[in-house]
Chain A
Amino acid sequence: MTDEREITLTVNGTEHTIEVEPRRLLVHAIREDLDMTGTHIGCDTGNCGACTVLKDGEPIKSCLMFAAQADGAEILTVEGMEDLPEADDIHPLQEGFREEHGLQCGYCTPGMLMAGKALLDEHPDPDEETIRDAISGNLCRCTGYQNIVRSIEYAAEELENRAAADGGAVAADGATGGGSAASPQGDASPEGGHAAPEFGGDADTFCGREDCCGGPDGADPFDRDALLEANDADAAGDAGGTDDAADTDADDRGDTK
């Protein structure tokens, strides 16, 4: 039942073949099997966006997808940013986060960078509202969104300047703006800097954060224990549990049907 399966992921341009159980999440495959810990885990519930990566160019939350589902996909993680053609020493987005103080504690930064990258791929010149919408699935617990928005604006401008300077082609090595300083990017690329709390490689642990955001609307949408158990019972041909739960509920509120 827990048979491992061989899958191929092309991460940041390098092909990797790994064995995964069906239940292995993409984020764990990236962090633990491939040892790229730049992609963070914040909430485990799809709420915080720390685990955002690009799958075939689209931003997704890698904690909400099984690794097996990404078999054959191209994945871009924060580690790949500085190798992109539009990157100089570091990517203009990373540069923006440094220049505009978009990374405060840096925990949300990798996810923000990926969301920002997806945005700028589609809208090279976004207005503030578009930027805010693009990062609306990414929580910064420092609530420093103002600086993050500015960082992405910085990158949009920088990319436009480079494109103009190159007559359309992307700079491969032309240093512009503040891009030539020795990279302090350890902060944003958490291999070195403000890295994720380590999990000791044990995928069975919770994220362990005291301030875990706990899911949409607090715990509510996931407080469905009783109903789901009841539904399972239903599926097995025993409708008792569901009806009980529902009757109570409906009676309390007055039947509207």
Chain B
Amino acid sequence: MKSAPFEHHEPETVDEAVSLLESLDDPTILAGGQSLVPMLRFRLANPDVVVDINGVDSLDYLREEDGHLRLGALARHADVEDSALIDEKYGSFADAAPLVADPQIRNRGTVVGSVAQADPKGDWGSILLAHEGDVIATGPDGDRAIPADEFFLLPYDTTLGEQELITEIRVPAPEANEGSAYHKLKRKTGDYAMAGVGVRLVFDDGVIESAGIGMTAVDITNARATDAEEHLEGERPSPDLFAKAGELAAEQSNPESDEHGGADYKERMVDVLTQRALGDAAERAGTVTVERRVTQ
């Protein structure tokens, strides 16, 4: 089935895009199209107007600036995968990029589009939560930063305004004793997660000063494992500590049973993935190597 007819607009600047969103009736933004095109074809989305932002060159960036890693709305999954900066400093992003979909989809799909899509199975939302990142939205009244914690409402629904365009997502640049990681369980290469866990740990003198944990595919949105985070903070890493954190994350997750696994199984996987991601993050922070209870 092909999509219902729509008007196709191709703005070249953010201002143009925003004024199109403001002036046109029922517009939908098209970025990589890797989620939107199937939705249009199945008529799950029926917009009269599609505002295609692929020509807004100023949104095509991935850089570190003003103490943040900043990804513009046209940064593709493949750009993250290929970035030397990411490889060197952003463990969780480097882990996740090659695990998102498949090479063809990574060439087109954008990180921002994936966050905007707010699929609970999307990988980037968890990482944004773990890093306490922001979604930067531009609307008729200018820019605003939406903390990741306030962004995801429901599956496929966010607090983004109707006339707003996400121009960027950003996370704080890593501190000296920081490490992050992402672990994902899937049936086969290229699949969405059955469960995924993103972790960011900041150490101060060997003690976990701050912990961020975001979970994929185990709740109605990307979700934060706050109990596990609290349990970690102020403690020195150890296998026991990480095992308890895994348990707490699993308890806080709300997976659904489906054809790929029962809820119990997925909870157990959250436990395992959390421990693995914590282990990698701690190691990458450079301060500690924690003996693994749960290994690869």
Query: A residues within 8 Å of B by Cβ?
Result: 1-3, 5, 21-25, 28, 44-46, 49, 52, 58-61, 63-66, 68-69, 115, 118, 132-134, 136-138, 203-204, 206, 215-218, 220-222, 224-225, 227-228, 230-232, 234-236, 242, 245-246, 249-250, 253-254, 256
Contact = CB atoms under 8 A, between A and B. Distances in A.
B283 to A, nearest CB: 23
Contacts of A232: 26, 45-46
B217 to A, nearest CB: 10
Given A5-B8, A136-B103, A222-B42, A23 B157 contact: no
Contact of A253 (B6, B38, B108, B254): B254
Interface in B79-118: 98, 101-105, 107-108
Contact of B33 (A64, A236, A242, A256): A64
Contacts of B256: 253
Describe A's contact surface by its main secondary structure. Answer: mixed
A25 B33 CA distance: 11
Contacts of A5: 8
Contacts of B103: 59, 115, 118, 133-134, 136-137
Interface of B: 1-8, 26, 33-34, 37-42, 44-46, 48, 50, 52, 54, 98, 101-105, 107-108, 119, 121, 153-157, 162, 188-192, 219-220, 223, 252, 254, 256, 258-260
Contact of B34 (A3, A64, A118): A64
A23 B44 contact: no
A22 B2 contact: no
Contacts of A230: 157
A245 B260 CA distance: 24
Contacts of A217: 121, 191-192, 260
Contacts of A1: 5-7, 48
Contacts of A58: 107
A5 B7 CA distance: 11
A115 B102 CA distance: 11
A228 B154 contact: no
Contact of A235 (B39, B41, B162): B162
B6 A256 contact: no
A35 B92 CA distance: 44
Contacts of B192: 216-217, 221
Contacts of B259: 218
A221 B119 contact: yes
Given A23-B3, A46-B105, A215 B8 contact: no
A218 B119 CA distance: 15
18 contacts: A2-B5, A23-B5, A23-B6, A23-B40, A64-B33, A65-B33, A66-B8, A68-B8, A69-B54, A132-B189, A137-B105, A217-B192, A228-B45, A235-B26, A236-B26, A246-B154, A246-B220, A256-B223
A196 B75 CA distance: 34
A44 B46 CA distance: 17
A201 B20 CA distance: 35
A23 B254 contact: no
A22 B8 contact: yes
A26 to B, nearest CB: 10
Nearest to A217: B192
A228 B46 CA distance: 10
A68 B48 CA distance: 17
Given A58-B107, A65-B108, A137-B101, A221 B37 contact: no
A63 B46 CA distance: 18
Contact of B105 (A61, A253, A254): A61
B220 A61 contact: no
A23 B162 contact: no
Given A60-B108, A61-B104, A224 B44 contact: yes
Contacts of B157: 227, 230-231, 234, 242, 246
A143 to B, nearest CB: 11
Given A60-B107, A203-B2, 19 more contacts: A1-B48, A22-B6, A23-B5, A45-B41, A59-B103, A59-B107, A61-B104, A64-B108, A66-B37, A69-B33, A69-B52, A137-B190, A204-B2, A228-B39, A231-B156, A231-B157, A232-B45, A246-B154, A250-B220
A46 B38 contact: yes
The 6 residue pairs across chains A and B that have the minimum distance between CB atoms: A137-B102, A22-B8, A136-B189, A2-B5, A253-B254, A136-B190
B98 A133 contact: yes
Contact of B2 (A25, A118, A253): A25
B160 to A, nearest CB: 11
A2 B129 CA distance: 41
A256 B219 CA distance: 9
B213 to A, nearest CB: 13
A65 B104 CA distance: 11
Contacts of B8: 5, 22, 66, 68
A228 B39 CA distance: 9
Given A22-B8, A227-B154, A235-B162, A220 B258 contact: yes
